[in-house]
Amino acid sequence: MTELQDQIAADLRGWDAIEDHRTGTEGDAATSEWLTGLARDAGATPQVQAFPFERWVLGNCAVAVNGRGADGVPLFDGGITGPAGVEGTLASLANGNAGIGIGPIGNAAPPGANERFARARAAGNCAALVAVAAMDADVPGLALQNADRFVDPFGPPVLQVASQEGNWLLDAAARGESASVVVDVALEPATASNVVVRVAGSDPSLAPVVVMTPKSAWWTCTAERGGGIVIWLALLRHFAANPPRRPVVFTANTGHELGHTGLDHFLEESPALGKAAHLWIHLGANFVAKNSERRLQTSDAGLQALAERSMAAHDVWPQSIRAPGHRPFGEARNIYDAGGRYLSWLGSNRWFHHPTDRWPHTIDLDAANRMTEAMLEIASTIAND
């Protein structure tokens, strides 16, 4: 392997060695410490941008029917029950209203199921909801959903349970059994943190390029987050050793799974940057996962053409392209909303938000190498124009 390929593998192993990357946890702090150490090794001067954060500490979170129970994890932007929980008739959301509604949710949910669940949350007619994880059939278990409204929770308590709990719970719902749901959560003052590095350009009058990637996740999530992390580090090392014309700001943000709270904090600290930056490079989720279907998102056709040329040269074509002018997915949407320019990569991942997303079995290392080489080319072109 080349020196760059060795470094990519080492960075993926380093990420995977920190098993819990959830926002505001010890793992979140350890990730910041790890990234700042690597930035210093590259000759840069990193800043840990810490901010206060209320962390959800889970107590008893479970559903029970006739003495049989299933533990779960709540949606972090829904309601809570307290230790007593709530009771009601369990019924499928596909069959109308219920005291406690149940249905599948996730990337492999049946057509209309995710929308039905979203409507039930918004309506607020159920005492609680049970969300059965619906992911790749070969990856059973509990894949969690993000909490986009973490700072503005809404609706009834929602308990997420593993896919293997679905059959017996749905059978109980078909019989109209009584169920209890407990979502007992304590709020604990904590600290969350971003990592920010600024590399000076030879012409400080030029608008900067911002390179951002999330640094938090529900579990280890190595294929989900690893691609963004390794390219973020590769670009940082490159520009620290080869200063470009434009200033480059690197930000690795916490709070991805909780409504992009880390990016929101970064933008609050630099409110003009959303629109004033020359370009935001968003290194999003999953694009180095095995069999990932990569998605390119750009704010204009010129950026799309630049990205497609480099990706073609390195044989990492996007399987889909989000047309310029359409609101993008991931953190790029924050930049779109601010009126900024962006170039963004995302992908699919059969282990998405699942605890078994770990090095090395979920990673396409060859794709990671080629993506990194292509992004070095793209970022160098942009930062020197």
Report the C-alpha gap between 199 and 45 in whole angstroms: 8
Q: Domain limits of the chain?
A: 3-55+190-383, 60-186
> Which amino acid, residue 245?
R
Give the pLDDT band (50/70/90) at residue 89. Answer: very high
pLDDT at position 94 is 86
- Is the pLDDT at 96 greater than 80, yes or no? no
Convert the pLDDT of each residue in 45-80 to its tens digit: 999 999 999 999 999 999 999 999 999 999 999 999
Average pLDDT over residues 136-149: 96
Calculate what percentage of the chain has a pLDDT beyond 90: 97
pLDDT at position 169 is 98
Helix (H) or strand (E) holding 377: helix 365-383
pLDDT at position 189 is 98
Say how many C-beta atoms besides its own lie within 10 A of residue 271's C-beta.
10
Q: Are 289 and 219 in contact (CB under 8 A)?
A: no
Question: What's 144's DSSP letter?
Answer: P
Report the C-alpha gap between 144 and 152 in whole angstroms: 19
Give the pLDDT band (50/70/90) at residue 382. Answer: very high
DSSP string, 198-240: EE--S-TTSPPEEEEEE---SS--HHHHHHHHHHHHHHHHHHH
pLDDT at position 95 is 83
Burial of residue 67 (CB within 10 Å: 0-12, 13-18, 19+) is: exposed
Average pLDDT over residues 234-262: 99
- Is the pLDDT at 116 greater than 90, yes or no? yes
Cβ-proximal residues to 201 (8 Å cutoff; 6+ apart), any chain: 208, 243, 244, 245, 246, 247, 248, 383
Supply the pTM of this predicted model. Answer: 0.97
Give the pLDDT band (50/70/90) at residue 151. Answer: very high
Report the C-alpha gap between 229 and 36 in whole angstroms: 13
> Which amino acid, residue 280?
W
pLDDT at position 186 is 98
Average pLDDT over residues 150-172: 98
Q: Are 347 and 288 in contact (CB under 8 A)?
A: yes
Report the C-alpha gap between 229 and 222 in whole angstroms: 10
- Is the pLDDT at 262 greater than 80, yes or no? yes
Least Cα distance to 200 among 192, 190, 213, 209 occurs for 209
Convert the pLDDT of each residue in 264-286 to its tens digit: 999 999 999 999 999 999 999 99
Average pLDDT over residues 302-325: 96
The fold of 3-55+190-383 is Aminopeptidase (3.40.630)
Convert the pLDDT of each residue in 177-218 to its tens digit: 999 999 999 999 999 999 999 999 999 999 999 999 999 999
For domain 60-186, the question of CATH label 3.40.630.30 is answered with no
88-97, 105-114, 209-218: segment of lowest average pLDDT: 88-97
Least Cα distance to 32 among 261, 263, 252 occurs for 252
